[in-house]
């Protein structure tokens, strides 16, 4: 039922999603099958504001439980960078879910912090561990931090290929903690 509610939200509230799907800045990420497919406008990835410009990526393009979500360079050919971003229940106030969608095909695997501060794929179930709330970054137009609803920590990238983690929100978020939607 939660899965259906999430997918219906995409149909019922495209304006809400459009607000979250900020116009891409700089190079595009994700495959054409994602960005121009059935979920056009919803399919893309999150890119950090660091000089490395890393994006969300499913390690090895796998769709298995507990597969690591890593930071990886922008790519228009890597299906690991394809994610459908949906507001839970049609309202960003309830959090956004990132559903891994290699080549634009929804896998029913969501980016989650299961409580150990390491981002992994888990079967989408709408839990707070899979829901993220955006907070705009002052002075960085189009960028936001993403707070996990269960852990109340923000998303952070590390080195290329490193697993994404969550950390306690600092007074001023580092570039590796600032994100924008690209699709």
Q: What is the mean pLDDT of each run of 10 residues along the chain (183 residues)?
A: 45 36 50 92 94 95 98 93 95 96 96 98 98 96 97 97 98 97 91
pLDDT at 6: 44
Q: What is the pTM of this model?
A: 0.85
d(CA 20, CA 25): 14
pLDDT at 74: 86
pLDDT at 52: 87
Name 45's bridge partners: 182
d(CA 10, CA 103): 18
Cβ atoms within 10 Å, residue 168: 9
């Amino acid at each position: 039922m939660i899965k259906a509610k999430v997918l219906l939200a995409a149909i019922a509230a495209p304006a809400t999603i459009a607000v979250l799907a900020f116009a891409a800045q700089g190079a595009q990420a994700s495959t054409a099958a994602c960005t121009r497919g059935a979920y056009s406008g919803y399919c893309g990835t999150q890119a950090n504001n660091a000089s490395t410009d890393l994006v969300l990526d499913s390690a090895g393009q796998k769709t298995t439980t507990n597969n690591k979500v890593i930071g990886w360079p922008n790519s228009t050919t890597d299906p690991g960078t394809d994610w459908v971003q949906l507001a839970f229940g049609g309202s960003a106030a309830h959090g956004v879910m990132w559903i891994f969608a290699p080549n634009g095909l929804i896998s029913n695997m969501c980016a989650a912090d299961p409580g150990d501060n390491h981002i992994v794929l888990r079967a989408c179930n709408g839990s707070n561990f899979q829901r993220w709330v955006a907070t705009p970054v002052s002075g960085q137009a189009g960028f936001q931090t993403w707070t996990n609803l269960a852990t109340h920590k923000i998303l952070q990238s590390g080195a290329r290929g490193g697993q994404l983690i969550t950390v306690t929100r600092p007074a001023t978020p580092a570039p590796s903690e600032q994100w924008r939607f690209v699709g």
